Amino acid sequence: MKLPTEIFGEVVVVHTPEELTDDNAVQFEQFVTSQERFKVIVELDATESIDSAGLTSLISAQEALREVHGDLKISTTNKLNRKILELTRIDQQLEVFESVIDAVKSFV
C-alpha cells in the first residue's frame, strides 16, 4: 500500500484511503508503522468508510509507534468520522484534532 504523505519536521502526515476496512487495515497499519518518522498524524478527511478492523489498525499502529517513543494522532474535519471515533471511544485513546497544523503543533 502506498498513501500520500507530507513531512513537517519530525512529523509525518499520512492521508488515509477512501475506505479503511478489513480489506486494507493490515496494509494500512504496516504502511503507517514503516515510515522513517515515528510521530504520525493520520488525516481521515478523505475516508468515507471505517469499520472495526480500520479502527483496530489505528490503535495497533499507535501502540507500535509508542514502543519506539513515537505516537499517532488523528486529524479530521469529517463529521461522520469524528462521530465514529466518539461512539467507539477511540477518541479517548487517540488525540483527535480539527486540523493537521494543530496536530503537528501538539508534538512540540
- Summarised one tens digit per residue, pLDDT across range 40-64 is 999 999 999 999 999 999 999 999 9
Residue type, 29: E
pTM exceeds 0.75, yes or no: yes
Spatial distance between the Cα atoms of 87 and 3, rounded to a whole number of angstroms: 27
Q: With beta carbons less than 8 A apart as the criterion, state whether 105 and 83 touch.
A: no
Q: Which CATH superfamily is domain 5-105 in?
A: STAS domain (3.30.750.24)
Report domain extents, the chain: 5-105
Q: What is the pLDDT of residue 53?
A: 97
Spatial distance between the Cα atoms of 66 and 76, rounded to a whole number of angstroms: 21
Spatial distance between the Cα atoms of 67 and 103, rounded to a whole number of angstroms: 20
**Per-residue pLDDT tens digits of the chain, which is 108 residues long:** 899 999 999 999 999 999 999 999 999 999 999 999 999 999 999 999 999 999 999 999 999 999 999 999 999 999 999 999 999 999 999 999 999 999 999 998
Q: With beta carbons less than 8 A apart as the criterion, state whether 12 and 6 touch.
A: yes
